[in-house]
Structure formats: structure tokens, C-alpha cells
Structure 1
Amino acid sequence: MKKGINTRCLHIDENEENFENYGSISYPIYQTATYAHQGIGKSTGYDYTRLQNPTRNQLEKVVANLEEGLDAFALSSGMAAITLLMELFKPNDHLIVESDLYGGSIRLFDNISKKNGIDFTYLDCTTDDIEKHIKENTKAIYIETPTNPMMNVSDINKISKIAKKHNCILIVDNTFLTPYFQNPLNLGADVVVHSGTKFLGGHNDTLAGFLVTNNEEIQEKLRFLIKTTGAGLAPFDCWLILRGIKTLGIRMEKSQQNAIDIANFLKEQDVVTDVFYPGLPEHKGYDIIKKQARGFGAMLTFNVDSKEHAYEILEKVRMIKFAESLGGVETLITYPTTQTHADVPEEKRLKNGITPRTLRLSVGIEDSKDLIDELKNVFKSLS
């Protein structure tokens, strides 16, 4: 019988008689680069940590289990994961990509992948006619849902049917919701991407990235690529992510409740003109996310009434940190225009809704009253 997700954050195929690793409750860090053999053909199953490492293998099993995938691949960062994924494609291949993506993904596609001969069409995958833009050489559709930072919600199952009809693979970045709230593979996706730096790690203390698939052909290709390119996650970082995943469920629940409280607070503030949070019933993607996910997450974006007020808010917050990341236990506020999306052309940013008045919150696990009190005080002090 399948265990609950909180249990699976802690245990994999274990029973009371399992006392491997001397009974260690914390999975050991195998901090070694290479492994000794007793003779020809007498391997322990491990040869060289670029190829495989017990700590990394344990982490990959945990993440694959949470995403209900066939296999997972732990890499040195979220961008390393996406870079490896792009090695599945060759010159003249075409990808349809969500236009409102994390700026680092767009930077990679526009400056590295295009240079390598891959063609991209950017669409609003929540409203545009995806099928109309599919070409003979289209190999994949790549989405985030919710998107970063405008929190647009795509219908994964609907897009997966389009992809399968045209023999494309569907790639879903699941960083914002994590496998605790959403499992894209069960909705028809072929590959799931994570920046493990964010909610999976949860403590702003390490970098990591993941690819998860339920497709055997893709699995074989990625296993070859990860050992060939050498971007596998180091043992100590694997241990940090394993530690973080243990509390994934309780962190996501607390952060989500705080996000709901803050979203409702922001709606009532005169200085705030728009609130983008998929847990608000008026959000255009509310019905879709209710259908395909078990929660709404801890990310929200809002616009204020002027660029000057946006700058003041960033300068005056104290407990809420002005920093570029997300998914940790601390609440962070980010300015996409100069941080996460600084390398995205201004015309594209504005078209996606990212203006100089846009702020993004990654809501942590503090007491929501304290977070709201700080925002109240900051808003009152605006000139």
C-alpha cells in the first residue's frame, strides 16, 4: 500500500528489520571521490562519484518516489538540471516554451540553447493556441505552473494531450508547488524539473537541481548525460537536501497558510493595485489549480501603485529580507525587474506583466501576524 507523502519524505521501502549503515537515522554522507574494488568484475556497485554515489542515489530515490517517477537525477543547481535537459535536443529542434518563465531559464534558452541550434517559440501557455504553433520539428513543450513571477496556471493534462498528439514531450517545472502539492507526471508530463535549492532544500543553505521522468528512453539518455557532463550533486549537498525534504510537508503547509493570510491582507491595502496568488478564488487559474494540485503554494506576486513605493518597500523591510531566491523558511521579497528577470528584455518583461511596480514574495514559516504587522508598518511609512 502506498504510504502518505509526509511518510515518504522520511522513509523509502523500509521496515523495522532494516539496519543498513549501522542503523544511522540520518543517511550517511559518502564523502569520497572514488571506490576500491577487490578485483576485475568485483565492483561494489560504485566506481567514481561523478558516476554514482550512495548519498546521491538515496536522494534520487526519495525525489523519484515523491514525484511518482521512474528515476530522478540530482544536479548541482536548478540551472544545471535544465542545461542537462537541453542536451536531449539537437540543432534544428524546436521547443514551445512558456513566456513567463524564471529569467535564468530564458537567459539559458536565448543565449546558450539558441547558439547550439535549438529554436524556441514563447507563448502564454494559459491562453495561446499551442497546437497552432507546433511544427514538424517541434520536440517538446516546456512550462512552469504556476509561473515565475506572475503566477499563471497552465492545465497540465490538457497540454499533455496536445504534446502526445504531436509526438512531443511535456516538461513541467514544478519548483513552486513541489511534489507535496502537485505531481505533473501523473497528469501526463514526461519530465519534471526542480530547483532543489528552493522548497525541497528549504533552508537557503545549498544549491541543487532535479530532473524526474517516468519515460524509460528519457531515463537512459539522462543517466548517460549526467555521468558524461559531470554536473551531479556533491554528497554533502545531497545530504542537506535529504535533511530539508524531511520537513517538506509541514513547511509547505505553514508557508501556504501564511501566503493565504498575506494575500488577503494585500488585497485590502490602498498602495497595492494587484495581487497574484492562485489560492484566491478570483485568480484566473484557481479552478485549474484546484483540479490538478493539492494546494496553492507559498509564492505570491503583487503590484504597488508606483515604482517609488516599490523601492521604499524594499529599503524598509527588516524581518522580511530583500533577497533573490525563494522556498526557504525565511520570508523573502524580490524585485524581478533588477533581480530574477534582469536579463529578460524589457519589452518581454512588460508583455508578461512584470513592471517596475512588481514585487514577489516567497512566504516563510514565521507567524503570519508578525509578517503582516511588518508590511502594515512599512506601508504606513511610505512617503
Structure 2
Amino acid sequence: MHTEPAGAGLMGIPDTQVFLDDLVALRRGLHRIPELAFLEEKTADFIRRELVRHGIAASYGGRGMGVVGRIEGRDPAAPVIALRAEMDGLPGEESTGLPFASQHPGRVHACGHDAHMAMVLGAARLLSRGERPAGDVVLVFQPAEEHGGGARVMMQAGVLAGVSAIFGGHVTHHYLTGQIMVTEGVVTAQSDRFVLRVRGKGGHGARPHEAVDAIIVAGFLISALQTLVSRESDPIHPTVVTIGRVQAGTAANVIAEEAVLEGSIRTTVEAARDRVLRGIRRMADAAGALHGAAVVVELVEGYPPVVNTAREASICRRAAERVFGVRDVLPQEHPSMGSEDFAYYLHETPGCFVRLGARREGWDYVPLHSPAFTVDEDVLPLGASYFAEVVREAQRALPRRS
């Protein structure tokens, strides 16, 4: 771990403390106004005004859209590089007790998106001062990462047109402040959802022989579906099946006619995903036949896995080593079973997604999405300097545009 203060040695910053203070103010301002997916109007206005304040052209497509900033480079043939941050918060009530906690009841920045926006705004400031970067830099502030796949909205709007590579990242308490995870290949899992609707035959609790109990069928399925992981999935391919919601019954003495199970599937390879999806359908049909019920399966495709391209991961590693130091650039031991819609960008454009440590030494670990989640703000200038250096390194390393 670094022993010098956060930001020591950050490149191109005349006064690191002033830069840190500015980024903290940005992060706290955004933290106060969390907004849910596709409703990020105040957040978008905040970002647009900040970009314009630093002389960066910015456009906003209105509710449901994102903010796109563009820094013009010196050379029209140099690679165009995109940086991405997410604008949306989460439903929930914040429990951090911070003086700059959410001012919007029922909404909270519990996933660090406020920090991501502040970092990319900081990188934009570094790249727009003094000598301009070699090529154009596209700053993508997207809506709806948590729910709704806002990345696809931005892609449909054409933000990746002419872009040679895109880079993003996420804060985490899995690493300490001053550490960064850079890896090639699979970084996050595929996420899918399913709904099982069980229809039996309702009846009186005293006469079960006259009914088909939907709750019994649902209970059977809850147990049986776990064997898709424990007995049917290759153990070298991480797989998770979770039943997160069960709804059934109306009264203690009434046999339920209907039950609904809702769950999620996380996989890292397509073969494992296909096997689980086929298994859910097979078990649903078998449970229905066994108990004389009807089971309808609804499968909802979620975000694909994030897969970093090798060339762009090496660019990130070199940039990270200059900002964080070689010993604090860490590999990922195994893919996260979380999901990230940054994956959609990587289907169209090469890129790399990293994880930035944001837990201060001595802090208890707090998971993302917890109402108590917060970040060590010393990560902000590190992240901003890293993103700026990624742009510079990518424009040195990638081929010129024809």
C-alpha cells in the first residue's frame, strides 16, 4: 500500500489539495441528489454545468438520456477515447449519517456512482487544461446502469461513433484506497432473471385431497433448483441461482391456488448459462407433472458479462502503474458475480473496466448497495488522474484513424 497521502505525485496537478477539495465538493454535491434510472435530470444538469464551466462542449438529450462531453484533440487522426460514468442512484434510505447524505427520500447513492462521476469530471478537467490530448475525448455520463441498461440508450444515440476504445471503473471496499484491480478477460457475470408462475387448485385447508397446493409445488422447486448449481454445473465455472421473492396464499386455512417465484441467475460462460436455463424449464415441467399443476416459466435476459480486451487491459495496467505504483496494481483472482451494463459497450468497442479500492485502512467492509456504503474520498484524485492517464496512454498505444 502507498504510504504517501492520496494524490501525491498525481500528474499535471499544480495544487493537489485544491484538486482533492474540488473533487470532494463535486462528489458530495452529487451524493445529495440521487435519482433513479432514466430520471436523472438534476444530476445531468449538474454535470453539464460543470463541463461547460471548464470550457468543455456538453450535450444533454433530456429525461432518459445521458450527458455527453467532448474535448477536442490536437490531431484529427489520433484515436478517439471514451470515458464512462453512471448517473443513477438506488431506491432506499441512506444510513451513513453523513452531513451530505441524500436529500431525496427513498433514493440513495449506495453504489458509488457519485464517486465515478466526480472522477470522470476530474479527468476531464486534467485533460482540458494546458496542452490538449492528442485525439478527441468523449465523456459519457449515462443513465440507468442499475436498472434498464442505459448503456444501450447511449449506444443507440451514437456516442461510440468513431471511438477507438472505452474505459470505465467501479469503486469497491474489496480493495483498500490506493489499490486498483486490472485484468483481461471476464470481469463480471452474465445476469438473467426468471419468474415461475405455479397454478394449482385452491381449496379448504381441511380438505387437501380436493386441491392442488401451489405452495407445495413452489417449495419443491425452491429446493430442486439449487441442484442446478450443486449437481449440474461444472464447478470450475461460477454459477449462482437465487430465489429472491416468493408470493403465495391468502389465509392460513386456504390452500393456495397460485404461487409466484422470482429469482436471478449469474453465470460467466455461455455453456453454463444455457444449461441452467434448460434446467429451469425441465424442472418446472417435471414439478407440474408430478403434482398435477401448471408451471409457466418466464426468462428475462439481463446484462451480458464484462469481458476486457487484452490490448486495452495492458493500456490500463501501464496507466495504473504510473498513478498507483506497480505493487498496487492487482490482478483479479476470480470474476465478480455482479453484473454491469458496461458490457454492452464492449460488444461494439474494445475497452477495459477496472475496480478502484475505496476503503480506508481500519474501516469495516461495507458491500455495495448497502444503505451504509460510502467511499474514502482520497480515491477521487487517484481515479481522476488514472482516467486522464488512460486516455493519454491509449492515444499513444492505439493505431491512428484512417
TM-score band by shorter chain is: under 0.3
TM-score by length of 2: 0.26
Structure scoring higher RCO (CA < 8 A, sep ≥ 6) equals: 2
Structure with the larger strand share: 2
Q: Please identify the structure whose Cα radius of gyration is greater.
A: 2
